[in-house]
Amino acid sequence: MVSDKELSSRLERLKNIVREFIRLIGDDPDRPELKDTPERVAKMWLEELASGYWEDPDKHLKYFYVNPNLANYVSTNRLIAVLNIPVRSVCEHHLLPFYGSAYVVYVPGSEVFGLSKFARVFEVFARRLQLQERLTEEVADYLFEKLRTSGLLVMIEAIHTCALIRGVEEPLSMVTLTTRGELSVDSKLREEALRIIRAKKTSRSLRLLKP
């Protein structure tokens, strides 16, 4: 956790860096339209885009007990899927955003997370300079431990603006996927998890196409 005093010091230093950045790319940081930009940018990075560096994802966790007799969670092929989790981060290669959706499928134990907690966990890990591949692995490692599950699959599909506004200038989409436990070794269980994700993505596409 960073103290208020340290954050204030970082804010002032970052404001000066942003001013110099504006000057180096050829503009005037003192012109009226840019006068407040250094402070806005510095606050955006420290309070939002990079807040995951000093935020503990554990503070968002809340477990709910599951009665296996009522929910039929005894069966090892019973899966819980959390779909369309928003993902927004900044790629460390060009400091440009990537954004999309994440999908988590896991074998529940005696306790499960509240639904919104998955979005909070992704948010903490995403609010750092990231690679999509690393983000997928970090979230999977964290959830596999904290959910105390015997099997987990995490998938992220995202558009990278570094390809959209520079380079090929196309809305290229990247998919990353990783598994843990039973979902790594049981191909039938893994295919069931992927069917759930595909079905959701298909139904969403059909809704968008519907006149």
Residue ranges covered by each domain of the chain: 4-49, 56-209
What pLDDT is attached to residue 76? 43
Q: Residues 100-151: pLDDT tens digits?
A: 999 999 998 877 788 889 999 999 999 999 999 999 999 999 999 999 899 9
Say whether pLDDT at 193 is over 90.
Answer: yes
Tens of pLDDT, residue by residue over 175-190, are: 999 999 999 999 999 9
4-49 maps to CATH 3.30.950.10: no
- Give the integer Cα–Cα distance in Å for 48 and 100: 18
Burial class (CB in 10 A: 0-12, 13-18, 19+), 185: exposed
* CATH T-level topology, domain 56-209: GTP Cyclohydrolase I, domain 2 (3.30.1130)
Helix (H) or strand (E) holding 119: helix 115-126
Provide the pLDDT for residue 151: 95
